Structure 1
Amino acid sequence: MNRIELSQQIIDTCLEMTRLGLNQGTAGNVSVRFDNGMLITPTGIPYEKLTPEHIVYVAEDGTFEEGKLPSSEWLFHLTCYQHRPDMNAVVHNHAINCAAVSILNKSIPAIHYMIAASGATEIPCVPYATFGSSRLAKYVEEGISKSKAILLQHHGLIAGEANLDKALWLAHEVEVLADLYLKALAINPDVPTLDDASMQVVLEKFKSYGLRVEK
């Protein structure tokens, strides 16, 4: 895709994220890998008012085009691309259930086999740091190196994948898992989990999950 097409896809992803109830107002941000850097939503503009011209290009050295301001969280998006070559799209939001689990400073353990969609046996929760800070980017680096989806303590969720459709799907799936986890915690603080051997089997199966068989 060219820049205009990718920019429109970013906007469509933002609008769909809101429609799915994964975000509120101008919170959250979306990016895609592009031309030795990334395209990312701007700061402070409501999603419904975005046009492709608003989307900001940020180079791999952190510089961005004159006259535009990227999302305040641009640094951790860039960090994801630098440390996960398999990621071409990153979605960040303040989804209610994910944020609630992050407030408890809990990772989401293997309560369900769909945790494996993250490529890991849990959805880790990284420590709190001020939004947009280099410290938060460092925590994101540590978490995203282990899992394609992470919680940010007292903040929200990051999900990265090969493209925007998959990143949004993963973000939605983790929100469902967070909802399940909170409901289970309310009944039993010692929530039963799948053992590591069971999760390793599922992780192996997920290597071909959703792939179409060519004939």
Structure 2
Amino acid sequence: MAQERMLMEKERALVVEFGMRMVQSGLTTGTGGNLSVFRRESGLLAVSPSGIAYDRLSPGDVVVLTLDGEVVDGTRTPTSELSFHQALYRVRSEVGAVVHTHSPYATTMACLGWEIPPVHYLVGFSGKKVPLAPYATFGTERLAAGVAGAIGDYNALLLANHGLVTVGVDLPSAFAAAEEIEFVARIYYQARTVGTPQILSDAEMARVIEKFRTYGQKKA
């Protein structure tokens, strides 16, 4: 008898894979952070569970829900930050994945209450800057509202006294934004310890963002 396929099997496997990569890349520690994938055609999202270490995570631990929060597959409790994942999918129709990290340098910026300006062109992974959402207790509707209100058309957002959240059309692109913004946050921190960093202009960042649209290998 053929084994029944797991609901959103591919997306659940991606959550496990990129959860491990978050830890291996130093973007979070322990059970910190969370990530999800949203399949708009079915209206279902696969999200990491609460309080399970990424090296112990299996696809069966990943929770599948509707956008309204109804669990349709899985026995685990979803991440405590589910509400801001849902909010981001509602306000950005092109977003297919969300990554939340506690990466050291981006979190340092968030704890200082600083946005990240275009100190390096790779801030273009977010947009012309990385904005800052106001502080709210983790896992609350107030935090979700603050995230949804501050994200605008950016792909990365600092959460005051908390961490970083990134979005993308898929999980690889959201994860790439988290990695690159952590790099830029480190450069900005280091530059400010030495002197006053030079900031790129809006016009230059517009050129960079346009070049990003055609960067990389294209399908034949």
Which position in structure 1 is the counterpart of 2:183?
A: 176
Which position in structure 1 is the counterpart of 2:71?
A: 64
Which structure 2 segments of 5+ residues have no match? 1-5
Partner deviation per Cα, 1:67-124 (whole Å, 9 max, x = no partner): 4310000010111111112111111010011110100100100101111121x21001
Equivalent residue of 2:119, what SS? coil
Equivalent residue of 2:70, what SS? coil
Equivalent residue of 1:160, what SS? strand
Q: Is the 8 A contact 1:37 1:78 kept in 2?
A: no
Equivalent residue of 1:212, what SS? coil
Q: Is the 8 A contact 2:8 2:64 kept in 1?
A: no
Which position in structure 2 is the counterpart of 1:87?
A: 95
Which position in structure 2 is the counterpart of 1:203?
A: 209
What is the aligned counterpart of 2:82 among 62, 74, 78? Answer: 74
Which position in structure 1 is the counterpart of 2:119?
A: 111
Distance 2:217 2:177 in 1: 15
1:212 equivalent in alignment to 2:213:
no
Distance 2:38 2:219 in 1: 27
Partner deviation per Cα, 1:22-41 (whole Å, 9 max, x = no partner): 11000000100032031101
Which position in structure 1 is the counterpart of 2:106?
A: 98
Compute the displacement of 1:158 (Å). Answer: 0.5
Equivalent residue of 1:209, what SS? coil
Equivalent residue of 1:208, what SS? coil
State the one-letter code of the partner of 1:27: G
Compute the displacement of 1:56 (Å). Answer: 0.7
State the one-letter code of the partner of 1:203: I
Question: In the comparison of the two structures, how many residue pairs are matched?
Answer: 212
Q: CA RMSD in A?
A: 1.6
Which position in structure 1 is the counterpart of 2:55?
A: 48
Which structure 1 segments of 5+ residues have no match? none
Distance 2:86 2:216 in 1: 27
Identity %: 34
Compute the displacement of 1:2 (Å). Answer: 6.0
Which position in structure 2 is the counterpart of 1:167?
A: 174
TM-score (norm 2): 0.91
Distance 1:210 1:111 in 2: 23
